[in-house]
């Protein structure tokens, strides 16, 4: 388990200080890379000068920290949250991979992109064995999956049982979302039993990839967590329960992939007290950003 730091500068600095394994998100929330590069310029880049700039970016920003970086995530939820950028996504990933190849780092640093759960067709999200990617993105997703399969990179996903719980309007039990004791659900197609929503969501992605001919690409959960305030289900007790139970669960794998560790990044290290959106969006942090005190007891052990 690792904590994911959300901004480029924080991640690079954390890598330098700790020499730990981190996930480097190569694009900020506005999809703009340092040195003026962004997803369109990375993707629509065939001239030698432009490719040279990408290689320079890798040499300047990746090579010095290469021992601490395992994945470059090109963009965050681009396929479903920013349709205008989606056409450039696969070419951008390919160009960064080529730059890593030129630097001799393609064997140790993978290139991928982070996806939201809404890449799944909402009418085929349950049971997991029936899952399929949304028709509107299947063309781009096919290119991405072929790339991941060829390069050995993982499928990155932000998995939030809370959002599914809220969206279900009472049809999903809170205990099922929190990894707590509940009656569970049996997949009518596979016969597999699910005791928690997180496993069901991860397996939904695995089945959707298999439906497109890719059944060996591993899933890395780049964001998951539970807020401690701002919603009736968002309490310190529930946040503590979710994250603590998550740590124990990911070591066991999922019903579809048992005994296979799910690499998972907990969101977030600190509350985001200036973030917009729903009130609970501000309170996913384990620590308070002002006092730096823990919001609740939590350990990765």
Catalytic residue among 13, 77, 272, 281: 77
Report the alpha-carbon distance of residue 231 to residue 69 in Å, rounded. 35
DSSP letter (8 states) at residue 292: -
Catalytic residue among 13, 223, 272, 281: 223
Reading the block at residue 214, the tokens are 């890719």
Report the alpha-carbon distance of residue 191 to residue 187 in Å, rounded. 5
Report the alpha-carbon distance of residue 207 to residue 214 in Å, rounded. 9
Burial level of 72, CB count in 10 A (0-12/13-18/19+)? buried
Report the alpha-carbon distance of residue 194 to residue 88 in Å, rounded. 37
Report the alpha-carbon distance of residue 261 to residue 219 in Å, rounded. 10
Q: Which helix (H) or strand (E) holds 221?
A: strand 219-224
Report the alpha-carbon distance of residue 28 to residue 21 in Å, rounded. 19
Q: Assess whether 77 carries a catalytic annotation.
A: yes
Question: Among all residues, which ones are annotated catalytic?
Answer: 77, 223
């Amino acid at each position: 388990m690792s904590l994911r730091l959300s901004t480029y500068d924080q991640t690079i600095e954390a890598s330098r200080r700790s020499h730990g394994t981190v996930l480097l998100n190569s694009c900020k929330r506005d999809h703009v890379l340092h040195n003026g590069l962004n997803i369109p310029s990375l993707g629509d880049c065939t001239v030698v000068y432009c490719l040279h700039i990408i290689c320079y970016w890798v040499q300047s920003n990746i090579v010095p920290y290469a021992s601490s970086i395992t994945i470059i995530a090109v963009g965050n939820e681009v396929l479903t949250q920013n349709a205008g950028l989606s056409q450039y996504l696969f070419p951008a990933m390919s160009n960064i991979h080529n730059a890593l190849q030129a630097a001799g780092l393609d064997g140790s640093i993978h290139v991928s992109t982070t996806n939201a759960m809404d890449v799944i067709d909402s009418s085929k999200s349950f049971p997991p064995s029936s899952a399929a990617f949304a028709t509107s993105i299947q063309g781009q997703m096919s290119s991405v999956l072929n790339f991941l399969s060829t390069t050995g990179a993982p499928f990155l996903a932000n998995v939030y049982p809370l959002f599914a719980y809220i969206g279900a309007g009472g049809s999903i039990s809170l205990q099922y979302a929190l990894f707590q004791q509940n009656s569970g659900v049996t997949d009518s197609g596979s016969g597999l039993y699910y005791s928690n929503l997180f496993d069901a969501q991860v397996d939904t992605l695995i089945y959707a990839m298999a439906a497109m001919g890719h059944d060996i690409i591993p899933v890395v959960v780049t964001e998951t967590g539970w807020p401690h305030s701002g919603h009736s289900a968002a309490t310190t007790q529930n946040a503590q329960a979710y994250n603590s139970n998550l740590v124990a669960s990911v070591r066991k794998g999922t019903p579809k992939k048992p005994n296979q560790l799910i690499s998972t990044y907990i969101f977030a290290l600190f509350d985001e007290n200036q973030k917009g959106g729903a009130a609970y969006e501000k309170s996913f942090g384990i620590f308070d950003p002002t006092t730096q005190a823990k919001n609740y007891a939590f350990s990765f052990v």
